Amino acid sequence: MAGEDLSKAAADIAGVVTLIEEIARQTKLLSINAGIEAANAGQWGTGFKVLSGEIGKLAARTTQSTTEIAAQIDAVTSLIQKSLAANQEISGLISEVNEQTQNISSSANEQKKATEQIAERMRRTMTNVEVSNNNLQTVKAASERSAASAEQLLAGVGEVDSATKSMGDTIDRLSKGLRAM
């Protein structure tokens, strides 16, 4: 809004400059008319003729000054318009940056949620691995006990086999001894 206010102020000043230019034109016309009247008055109009000349010079300087002021006002107005255009472009860029920042923030939040879900799944997996590891340790211990029992059973079977052979040998001897009798 400040740029628009400056544009309005520049337009107001240009209006004043136009008014001053009009006054300078009228003053120049009055100076010319006064010069004509002074010439018509003859020698009595000599002082009036000098005054008329000075008023004409003043009107010319006023016209020149108002032309310079008008050029400066045009330059300032042009700069204000360029500034307003640049501000609008910057505002557009800021809006784009804000939108992109919101998109990045949204994406970061989504990534954070996904990372939290992955971390939770990893914790569950680790818990399951620990449970599985404990179960494997239990199975290993049971297998070791079973192996030890199997070895004992095998040793017992070996003893029974030896006893059976020994009994068979004894029965064969008894049987031979009974036949021989």
pLDDT of residue 1: 53
Whole-number pLDDT of residue 72: 87
pLDDT at 120: 95
Q: Across the 181 residues of the chain, what is the mean pLDDT of every consecutive 10-residue run? A: 71 85 87 84 82 86 88 86 89 94 94 95 94 91 86 82 82 78 67
Contact between 70 and 17 under an 8 Å Cβ cutoff? The reply is: yes
Residue 181: its pLDDT value, please? Answer: 67
The sign one gets for the Cα dihedral 118, 119, 124, 129 is: positive
State the pLDDT at residue 102. Answer: 95
Quick one: pLDDT at residue 80? 83
CA-CA distances (angstroms) from residue 178 to 102, 164, 171?
110, 20, 10
